[in-house]
Homo-oligomer: A and B are copies of this chain.
């Protein structure tokens, strides 16, 4: 499978991906994990996502609010704040730069 060995390649982009998901919609760890699995990142586990979320919180890129769920334990909802949106913009700039450079190289 192509998805084998994606781990190293995900470094430095996974955080941006999570930022984007949070930007699209206020959401929580368990749902983000599910969403990422759907999106093609099949091997991603909850542990990975939670370490990222805690990092984002620690860096002050997200606002957090705990809310009860009707089907399980309370959920920790994450929303991007201004710093988070700036970080996301930076992420896309870096991504565009890197992917352009690599695609150029690939076609050469």
Contacts and interface: CB of A to CB of B under 8 A. Distances in A.
Interface of A: 2-3, 5-13, 17, 20-21, 24, 39-41, 90, 92-95, 97-99, 101-106, 108
A102 B2 contact: no
Nearest to A101: B40
Copies in the complex: 2
Contacts of A5: 90, 94
A14 to B, nearest CB: 10
Contacts of A21: 105
Given A2-B93, A8-B12, A40-B101, 14 more contacts: A2-B94, A2-B97, A6-B94, A6-B97, A9-B13, A9-B94, A10-B12, A11-B12, A13-B98, A39-B101, A41-B101, A92-B106, A99-B102, A99-B103
